[in-house]
Each structure stands twice: as C-alpha cells, then as structure tokens.
Amino acid sequence: MATYRAVEVTGARDFRLVDREPVDPAPNQVRLRVEYCGICHTDILAAEGGLRSNPEQPLVPGHEIVGVIDAVGPGVGSWQVGERVGVGFLAGHCWECDECRRGDFVNCRNQQQTGTTIDGGYAEVAYARASGLVRIPDDVPSAEAAPLLCAGLTTFTGLQQTGARPGALVAVQGIGGLGHLALQYAASLGYRVVAIARGREKEPLARRLGAQHYIDSSEQDVADALRSLGGAAAVVATAASGSAMSPLVAGLAPRGKLVVLGAAADPIQLNTADLLFGTRTVQGHLTGTPIDNEDNLSFSATHGIRPRIEVFPLSEAPKAYEHMLFGRARFRAVLDTRA
C-alpha cells in the first residue's frame, strides 16, 4: 500500500484521521497489517497527554493489537510473514538491562509502551519489536483476542499473583472491562468467586460469568460481607477507585492479598492494624510477558473465556474512545481497522 490510515491524538483528546506512508521495519522489528485493536482505559495516557514528554506530538494510541505480519526487519528469526500475532501494552523487552538479565521482562527498563510512548494500533499498520509479539491460537477470533491481550492478560496473571489455592474464596471488585473477565478466569481456576459491585443491576450477569456470591457495595459493608463468608484469600481490585478499594483489606482472611489492577486517581487509605493483624498484603500488578499472554490465550480458548465486545470502524475511534471513557462500553470497545 502507498499509504495507510491512522488515528493520531494530540493534546487533550484531539483525535485526527490521517494518511501515513509505511516504512520498512527496523532491526528486530516487524510490520503488521492490523485487523482489530481494543480500546483500553490506559489509552487515556495517550489521549489526555499523560506520561508523554510532549503531549502535542501526534501519537497513535492502542495496545490491544491483532494483525498479520507483512514484513520482518533484520535480525528477526522465528517470526514469518503471514503469521497472525498480537501486541500488548509492553512493546518488547530489550534482553540487556538488569531486569531482563534476571528474567523480569515486565519491568524491563528499556521497554516502550505500545500506544503510549510509541505508536499503537488505532491504524491499519503497526510496528512492534519481535520480543513483544504474541502467537494467537487458531480458535480465538481476532476481535475477541484483542481485549484478551491486555484486559485478559492483566486479570489472568493478577489472579496468579494471589497464591490462592483452588477452592479458596476470591473476590473480584468491579464488574467492568477487567472485572467481567476476572470473574470468568477466577471460576475457571477453581475458586469460590465473589463479585463486588455498586448496585444490583450487574448481579445476574456476574452470576452467569461465574460468581457464586454477590456483594452490593452501596448497601453492604464490603469487609463485613467478606468476613461473613470466611474472609477472602484474595481480592482482585479492578475498578479505578482508590476509595472503593480502601475497605477491601479488612475483608481479607489472614495472609490474604489485595491485588490492585485498576489505576485510580485517588489514593488507597489503609488502617495499619488491618495489615499487621492477619499479615495481609497489598500488591500492585501491571501485566504479563508475551509468553504469559500465549498461556492466557490458550487457557481462554480451553475454558471458553470470552470478552463482551462492541465493534466500531476505525473512522469512529473518537466515538469508541468516549464510549469507553464514560463507562458506556459493555464491556470492551474494539476497533475494526478494515472497516
């Protein structure tokens, strides 16, 4: 193709559909023909100017990318033109920093962030380091694979961070883009699952997704409700609200863990006694590695874990972004870059 369409954003939510010229991939990099790209809450870092040294520099958002390799750069060995692959938030580790040398690829110091510090997938073409690529099973549709590359990976690996045994009581706080997947993963991993949300309207869906118990945080004291069930071995917090996460620690069982996935603007406030008496833990969790993502996709295919998605054409990226931003998506918005 002589040019391809891309959606750039500058400043505060200033989206623009432009034509760009493709270039050859750099060393150790591939070029993709993008098929679908999910829209994630983390896209606000691009669209609203966060974590960018120059918010007025045009950037293509999007880090839940599914596409087909159409060119490989020098030094790429195990990836071939024509392979369907995914790219998540972490754009590929460097293999050379201290963290990489110790196998901590998530915290690579030289790792770019797809759609946040480099161009992402709101486009017909994208570029990625080979070390950031994810192979997608044949039985996972591309449109559904896109949200699994970030929302799915984050919740799947977040649950693994809890150390909870099968049969343990595990709670999911927030039934949205992350939470509706976390419920499915938690049930498939063999936990007794509690859904925590505000209001009763999401209870029927939460139970269909695997919850055995439901706590309405607008009517019940969440910590008391969890303690009445024996205390949670873990709570996975997905809603972007520090104030909603603050009461959760008191509902943990001894040695229970609160794993924070939702990025909130307000702080989490804790009573130190709730941490000390019971030896409880609060832990942040970002995402997983590309090979973790392949495990996640295989697990999702085996257990029938599927995101609830709404698909928009690339030209409606600003509309789809606002759909996500104001909580109207049920539950993940996905761009079809071919439409």
What range defines the domain where residue 168 resides?
153-284
pLDDT at residue 11, rounded to an integer:
76
pLDDT in tens, 296-328: 999 999 999 999 999 999 999 999 999 999 989
pLDDT at residue 164, rounded to an integer:
97
In angstroms, the Cα distances linking 100 to 97, 132, 139, 279 are 5, 13, 32, 31
Count of structural domains within the chain: 2
Does one domain contain both 178 and 74? no
CATH number of the domain within which 86 lies: 3.90.180.10
Put residue 266 in one of left, alpha, beta given phi > 0 → left and psi -120 to 50 → alpha.
beta
Tokens of 316: 């409606």
Beta-carbon neighbour count of residue 243 at 10 Å? 12
Residue 317 lies in a domain: yes
Does one domain contain both 123 and 179? no
Residue 239 lies in a domain: yes
Backbone φ and ψ for 125, nearest 5 degrees, come out as: -135, 140
Does one domain contain both 175 and 243? yes
Specify whether the CB–CB gap between 2 and 105 falls below 8 A: no
Low-confidence stretches of the chain (pLDDT beneath 50): none
Residue 195 lies in a domain: yes
Is-above-0.75 flag for pTM? yes
Tokens of 46: 């691009």
Does one domain contain both 164 and 211? yes
Residue 115 lies in a domain: yes
pLDDT at residue 46, rounded to an integer:
92
Residue 301 lies in a domain: no
pLDDT at residue 233, rounded to an integer:
98
Does one domain contain both 43 and 129? yes
Does one domain contain both 246 and 319? no
Residue 177 lies in a domain: yes
Does one domain contain both 119 and 204? no
Residue 253 lies in a domain: yes
Examine the fold and report which residue of 245, 268, 284 is the final residue of a domain before the chain moves on.
284
